[in-house]
Amino acid sequence: MGSPLLPELEPLAFLLGVWRGTGLGEYPTVERFSYEEQLEFANVGKPYLTYQQRSWVLRDGERLPSHMEFAFWRPRPEGSVEVISAHPNGVAEIEIGNVDGSRVTLHSLRLVTSPSAKEVVRLERDFVVRGDSLVYDVRMEAVQQLLRPHLHAELLRTA
Ligand code: HEM
């Protein structure tokens, strides 16, 4: 038996589970790419959810390990949420936003990059869940570009 879900996590309960699917990536400075993703939102019995994401770029019949993320989703009163994330490309960020039914919109409040990271200035994300389907979009302001789409993915809940 897992830990019971604390009442403050109920507005985020629609995210719980393991999600798998595929996405399309783009940015003005890179070639379009497709990727596979596994995403898990889990309850650990504390007033946050853990979020772990792994992705694999699909190129020329190969499946190459790509981006990962580890984060904590902290619900706040009145539908707001704080997300604390670490990325392997040298980015650490705090995103804030809102949960409205089964739609989440987030934007980075603080984003810092390590000395060797590429320039990343801002991220924005939208997640929409309908039953066992999760669709998300990520927009990014980075490497001297304006805020532009980077990712779009459609995942299904598997567990
Ligand atoms: C599913 C998640 C993601 C996947 C599969 C993904 C994949 C990719 C790929 C394949 C590229 C182009 C080639 C390369 O540089 O490796 C790229 C570029 C880039 N991505 Fe992502 N990415 C993801 C999420 C993110 C996130 C969350 C950030 C920011 C925190 C980010 C920042 C960047 C940057 C800065 C570039 C470089 C653009 C350039 O060099 O001109 N990516 N991404």
pTM (predicted TM-score): 0.97
Nearest alpha carbon, ligand 1 atom 20: 150
**CB-CB contact of 140 with 116 (8 Å):** no
The candidate with the shortest Cα–Cα distance to 6, out of 79, 98, 70, 75, is: 75
What does the chain come to in residues? 159
Q: Whose CA is nearest to atom 24 of ligand 1?
A: 67
Each residue of 6-57: pLDDT tens digit?
Answer: 999 999 999 999 999 999 999 999 999 999 999 999 999 999 999 999 999 9
CA of 66 to the centre of ligand 1 (A): 8
Report how far ligand 1's centroid is from the alpha carbon of 88 (Å).
10
Does 159 score more than 70 pLDDT? Answer: no
Q: Do 85 and 70 form a contact (C-beta atoms < 8 A)?
A: yes
Of ligand 1's listed atoms, the one at least distance from the Cα of 119 is 35
pLDDT of 118 > 80? The answer is yes
The answer to whether the CB of 30 falls within 8 A of the CB of 55 is no
Torsion-angle region of residue 88: left (phi > 0), alpha (psi -120 to 50) or beta? Answer: alpha
Tens of pLDDT, residues 121-158: 999 999 999 999 999 999 999 999 999 999 999 999 99
How far does residue 1's CA lie from ligand 1's centre (Å)? 37
- How far apart are the CA of 75 and the centre of ligand 1, in A? 27
